Amino acid sequence: MSSVKDILIELGYSLVEDKNGWRTNALYRGGNNNSALKIFENGSFCDFVEGTTGGFRKLIELTLNIHKPEEIDKFLEKNNFSANDIERTEKPIIKIPKIYPPEILNELIPDHSYWLNRGISLETISVFRGGLANKGMLKGRYVTPIFNEYNEIIGFAGRDITGKSSIRWKILSPKSNFLWCIHLNKEVIKQEKKVILVESIGCGLSLWECGIKNFLCLFGIKMSLSVLNALLRLDPDQIIVSINSDTVGSRAADDIYNKLARYFDFRQLRTHLPPLKDWNECLKKDPQIIKDWAKTL
């Protein structure tokens, strides 16, 4: 009998071992980022770029661009994958929200050289209480703790700083629950009545460095239900979509705008991308670029 891994290789995926599965590129959309797609040992998957998730059959359907169940069955039968295995892979993965003890941050090493080298000051870095992990699943990564609105730690985002890992970011806990950094800026957003949606932690830190604190991080180019619900509660006068201004980001910004338009008046919405690829690139070139951009809001 073939395994899930055997089928994935047959489909053309180049697999990199990861916890409970593999990382690879999203073949079904022509992606070339070999860490953008996480496939679990049971065949379920999560596309970190597009936010797509599903079971093994859905992955096969996307990859082969087939839409009839009998065609998927035929492919699996041809590759000697049993019906029992199919049933097992379709069982949902239940994720229970977890609150981490604050003492866990004491284990982080105060080595902030990665962000310092990217133009973020120690004053800004210290606000977010991150550090270098020297053990565990995020060993060798700069770790940013993710807090909820009640100042409880609900996850971590770890950035590889060695340059040796093909996986730049590792996220612990479902990022669909993340509202970074609402524990610090909720009142700022309420006061200014504006929210800037950015793509990454680096973009958020870059804005904060320039005194712009009314942002929420999407952790990618899709808007989660948690972010949408937060925006509905806050009901700001302006929501500015400002994710990365590359080709993928520009298309995704339109998708986010259109999704927001179902819930907000068009006068509340605006797409205003960074002048350079992302906000950290702007900061490294000249912080004044960000400050001038902010004056146009």
Residue range 140-162, pLDDT digits in tens = 999 999 999 889 999 999 999 98
For all residues of the chain together, what is the average pLDDT?
A: 90
- Binned at pLDDT 50, 70 and 90, residue 169 comes out as very high
pLDDT higher than 90, residue 37: no
Using left for φ > 0, alpha for ψ between -120 and 50, and beta otherwise, residue 17 falls in beta
Buried b / exposed e along 39-64 (16+ C-beta atoms within 10 A) = bbebbbbbbbbbbbebbbbbbbbbbe
Q: Which residue has the higher pLDDT, 167 or 188?
A: 188
Measuring CA to CA, how many Å separate 58 from each of 12, 46, 89, 99? Answer: 16, 11, 11, 31
The pLDDT of 50-76, averaged and rounded, is: 87
In this prediction the pTM is 0.70
pLDDT higher than 70, residue 77: yes
The alpha carbon of residue 234 and the mean position of all alpha carbons in its chain are separated, in whole angstroms, by 22
Other Cβ atoms within 10 Å of 205 Cβ, number: 26
User: CA 39, CA 53: separation in Å to the nearest integer?
Assistant: 10
Residue 90 confidence (pLDDT):
46
Residue 199 confidence (pLDDT):
96
Share of the chain above pLDDT 70, in %: 94
The pLDDT of 56-62, averaged and rounded, is: 91
User: CA 295, CA 273: separation in Å to the nearest integer?
Assistant: 14
Residue 97 confidence (pLDDT):
62
Residue 87 confidence (pLDDT):
45
The answer to which of 72-81, 101-110, 285-294 has the lowest mean pLDDT is: 72-81
The answer to which of 20-34, 151-165, 188-202 has the lowest mean pLDDT is: 20-34
The answer to which of 57-71, 106-120, 175-189 has the lowest mean pLDDT is: 57-71
Residue 94 confidence (pLDDT):
44
Residue 184 confidence (pLDDT):
97
Residue 163 confidence (pLDDT):
85
